[in-house]
Structure 1
Amino acid sequence: MTRSLSDLTSDLLAAASKAGAEAADAIAVDGTSISIDVLNGKLEQAERSEGVEIGLRVLVGARQACVSASDINPATLTEMADRAVAMARLAPEDPTIGLADPDQLATSWDADALDLIDPSAEPAPAALEEAARQAEAAALAVKGISQVQSATAAYGQRRVHLAATNGFSGGYGRTDHGLSCVAITGAGTEMERDYFGEGRSHAEDMMSPEEVGRLAAERTIARAGARKPPTGAYPVLFDERISSSLIGHLLQASNGTSVARGASWLRDALGEMVLPKGLTILEDPHRPRVTGSRPFDGEGLPTAKREIVADGVLTGWTLDLATARKLNMTSTGNAARGTSAPPSPSVGNIALTQGADSQADLLAQMGTGLIITSMIGSSINPTTGDYSRGATGFWVENGEITYPVNECTVAGNLREMLRTITPANDARTHLSRVVPSLLVEGLTIAGA
């Protein structure tokens, strides 16, 4: 690439103004991704991609349009601008669209303090292949593992730059390292599988390939002989590996887009208890070395800590500029932006208050019920919060795990479920979503 991302966005804005746009913002992203798969100790697949993508949003009055491309030739930039303006003139009017006012914009930030970029050299494909091979070998070394379905090592680096005609211009980058392994036990209809994966921004924070493979194997062995659980109403413990999905439903229901459309089961819950007293959901976009961190949002607004839920009470919606205007509120600095679509509100790093008890303590409190470690499919009514999902995990009797289960469904209502949750103390704090295991009272289980 001969031009910087900053120059590309500047050129896009100039082209948009020349084409007749009254306002515009532009985004440029470049990156590299490498993925290596190993099977039976040999290289199965190797992929590498790199390139630049650019996106332009233009505004003509109360109308807007977005275009994107992966070609950065000057002629392409001109064509993008002309096409975007022509599209905007035909688009429906929306009085809530528009760029941020200059006094709303982020004016200073410290991207280096977020420490999102690994300063070490890009890993060689051979090193990634060896890591995947070690993970596979470690899984196969565990007694009872019949095969490894996949072992994958990956690396990515990405830089983004955003600029707009309101004067904003800024960029930052991040790196990602990943390693995962999927192991299988048994054969035929008795086959069961499970996985473990690790992802970090810095290679030095990654656990060893042997540990990844061993954990994948141990999870898989524990699933041998799975059967259906009994049908009935029982307490359910959402294991830490999937508990964030439950909180994710609350985050989606408090998203400004859902609320503005009236398609949220929380639409009338602002200022009300949505979690038990004592529990808080904190969003922190400035956590170092964490995937969801960013110095500013997709509209150039500053990002900051905020409590989405405070002491059990829903304090506000997640908003970008457009949804804030629709709801007569102020943006929370949560706009996310890709190259091909306008900004939309999105939550980054969140953490739920952890409890005082371990998962084992919660099992003792549960007595008899289900631990869910994996979920399949989804049937969620966004308006009522009615919840139904396929699940696998373990059956618990007298506070102890008795056997693995599969082919069951759990159902309830999210509003009622979330008001009864009891958190454990086992959340992994390096994740973007720090959510411990959650015990939920009285779900309906459909099994045998």
Structure 2
Amino acid sequence: MQPLPHQEHRAQFEDLVTQALAFAKTLGASDAVAEVSEGQGLAVNVRLGEVETVEQTRDRSLSITVYAGQRRGSASTSDFSRVALEQTVQAAWHIARYTAEDPAAGLPEADKLMLQGSPDLSLYHPWAITVDEAARLAIEAEEAARGVSKQITNSEGASVDSHEGQFVMGNTRGFLDGYTYTRHGLSVVPIAGRGDNMQRDYWYTSDRIAHRLAAPAEVGRYAAQRVLSRLNARRLSTRQVPVLFEAPLALGLLGALTQAVSGGALYRKTTFLLDSLGQSIFPDHVFIDENPFVPAALGSGAFDDEGVRTELRQIVSAGILQSYFLSTYTARKLGMQTTGHAGGSHNLRLYSTKTNPSDDLAGMLKEMGTGLLVTELIGQGVNYVTGDYSRGAFGYWVENGEIQYPVQEITIAGNLKDMFRQIVKVGADELTRGSKTTGSILIERMSIAGT
């Protein structure tokens, strides 16, 4: 896949945005925001050593939102011609004129915007990979998984994907900026066992920089080890025990927090953490930091989806919630100020002052003693209004700090408010997926429904 000619396109994109905004003003718009974007991707999937699918994508878009006071309308097109641009702006203006007024609608205040030019966060690292090369890497990962044991009896395949894009966004309050970005990944899904004793598991690696991806053979072997350890799983009787969430699943607990204290949930009053700002929601050893400026990280960005400057933030300090996640619109609905979170969070890291370097997964199992290590969750079972949490699960029964056997067909249940407060320890086995980082998380006690 050849890199996009982004340097040549930046000036063109800026010109298109400027034209769209100017035309919107001539129609009578009080304000407007426009974005021009382009992207391309390659995804190669293999199974049992043969290429199954090759998908190459390329897309582009010009979108505009115009305001008539506190009424707004939006439209988009993939045609960058002057005629199409004007027709798109006219369509958005027509919509805005006939929609109901919304007191919270409107652009961010100028003093919140990134107006001085954003720093280079090294988000663009193109990968000039061919279809044949991508297939070779995917096959290498799958073969490594299948070669670990004869008990690996099948495969759902392996895939390599690469995506890059660029955009420019601007509004009538002086913001005009954008950047190029890349994202690459490799995954493999082996199957072990036969008949009623068949299991599947997976592993993947992703990064903005291709050479920082884990080696295909390493990904394959680790996926195989995971699926082999699941064979001969048993059921458990109903009980209440400590539960250790493996790091990939612990990230979901961090995600549950971001959803519960996001502006949309707060102003709609559909969250169990309503009015929680300044309140203790975790033990005092738990902290959550946000750093939008980590070079080449998947969650980095100097401004949010509205052009608002991002900031270093401590979301949770000594267990106390310090910040919500607000866009301009949701902040106005709450009578507050935007936190620069239109589009989501930026490189969150949950950690604990109790964590020691020896607290890898084995160390966390010893810390738990007897309980359940959870490595897969099934179903959605989270009620964000009440905090009630009930998920199907797969994991491992642990005694005296050692895994005894895998367990399946169980349900773990609790309440997120209690689970947050009952975090005993956070592991040193930190894992980053997308914009979130944490180690494994040990919860003091949860209910297990089994036989």
Name the TM-score class by shorter chain.
Answer: over 0.9
What corresponds to 1:67 in structure 2?
75
The answer to whether the aligner puts 1:245 opposite 2:252 as a matched pair is yes
Q: What's 1:339 paired with?
A: none
Give 1:254's aligned amino acid: V
Please state if 1:55 is matched with 2:58. Answer: no
The residue aligned with 2:286 is: 279
**Cα deviation 1:170-197 (Å, max 9, x = unaligned):** 0111111100000000122221010010
Describe the SS at the equivalent of 1:380: coil
Please say if 1:433 is aligned against 2:439.
no
Partners of 1:37 and 1:62 in 2: how far apart? 47
Please say if residues 387 and 414 of structure 1, whose CA atoms lie closer than 8 Å, have aligned partners that are also in contact: yes
Looking at structure 2, the residues matched to 278 and 434 of structure 1 have their Cα atoms a distance apart, in angstroms, of 17
Provide the residue aligned with 2:197 in structure 1: 190
- Mind listing any 5+ residue stretches in structure 2 that lack a counterpart? none
Task: Provide the rounded CA distance (Å) in 2 between the counterparts of 1:319 and 1:390.
Answer: 31
The structure 1 residue matched to 2:97, chosen from 69, 89, 100, is: 89
CA-to-aligned-CA distance 1:246-276 (integer Å, 9 cap, x gap):
1111111111111111111111222111111
Match runs of 1:17-416 below 5 Å:
17-112=25-120, 114-118=121-125, 121-143=127-149, 144-336=151-343, 346-354=344-352, 355-356=355-356, 357-416=359-418
SS at match of 1:271: coil
Q: Deviations over 1:271-307 (max 9, x none)?
A: 1111110211111111111111011111211111101
Amino acid at match of 1:432: S
The answer (yes or no) to whether the contact 1:192–1:224 under 8 Å persists in 2 is yes
Contact kept, 8 Å, 1:15 with 1:77, in 2: the verdict is: no
Shift of 1:430: 7.6
Q: Separation in 2 of the partners of 1:226 and 1:148?
A: 19
User: Tell me, what secondary structure is at the counterpart of 1:179?
Assistant: strand
Distance 1:188 1:8 in 2: 59
Matched position secondary structure for 2:270: coil
Q: Decide whether the 8 Å contact of 1:29 with 1:160 is kept in 2.
A: yes
Shift of 1:110: 4.4
1:431 Cα deviation after fit: 5.3
Letter of the aligned partner of 1:289 in structure 2?
A
Query: What's 2:18 paired with?
Result: 10
Residue 103 of structure 1 deviates from its aligned partner by 2.5
Q: From the superposition, tell whether residues 414 and 430 of structure 1 become closer, same or farther in structure 2 (CA, over 3 Å).
A: closer
Q: CA deviation at 1:22?
A: 1.5
Question: CA shift at 1:241, angstroms?
Answer: 1.4
* TM-score, with structure 2 as normaliser: 0.93
Tell me the distance in 2 between the aligned counterparts of 1:427 and 1:125. Answer: 33
Work out whether residues 118 and 177 of structure 2, in 8 Å CA contact, stay in contact via their aligned partners in 1. no
For the residue of structure 2 that corresponds to 1:207, the secondary structure is coil
**Which residue does 1:340 correspond to in 2?**
none
Post-superposition offset of 1:11 = 2.3
Shift in Å at residue 108 of structure 1? 2.9
Moved more, 13-22 or 160-169: 13-22
Where in structure 1 are there 5+ consecutive unaligned residues? 337-345
Number of residue equivalences:
437
Question: What CA distance in whole angstroms lies between the structure 2 residues aligned with 1:430 and 1:192?
Answer: 24
TM-score normalised to structure 1 length? 0.94
Q: Distance in 2 between matches of 1:295 and 1:71?
A: 29
Per-residue CA deviation, residues 80-128 of structure 1 (Å, 9 max, x unaligned), is 111111111221211111112322221234442x11111x552111111
Task: Please list the CA deviations of residues 383-431 of structure 1 after superposition, one character each: whole Å capped at 9, or x if unmatched.
Answer: 1111111111111122211111122111101001101112111103585
Equivalent residues of 1:235, 1:369 under 8 A apart: yes
In structure 2, C-alpha distance between the alignment counterparts of 1:45 and 1:156, rounded to whole Å: 16
Question: What SS is found at the alignment partner of 1:265?
Answer: coil
Q: CA offsets, 1:312-336, max 9 Å, x none?
A: 0011211111122222221111112
**Partner secondary structure for residue 280 of structure 1:** strand
The one-letter amino acid paired with 1:40 is L
Shift of residue 161, structure 1, vs aligned partner: 1.1
SS of structure 2 residue aligned to 1:174: strand
Aligned to 1:106, the other structure's residue is in SS state coil
Moved more, 195-204 or 397-406: 397-406
CA distance in 1, matches of 2:127, 2:316: 40
Cα distance in 2 for residues equivalent to 1:85 and 1:61: 12
Q: Provide the C-alpha distance between the structure 1 equivalents of 2:127 and 2:306, rounded to a whole number of angstroms.
A: 32
Distance 1:242 1:107 in 2: 38
CA-atom RMSD in angstroms: 1.6
Q: Sequence identity of aligned pairs in percent?
A: 38
List, as ranges, runs of 4+ consecutive aligned residues in structure 1 with deviation greater than 6 Å. none
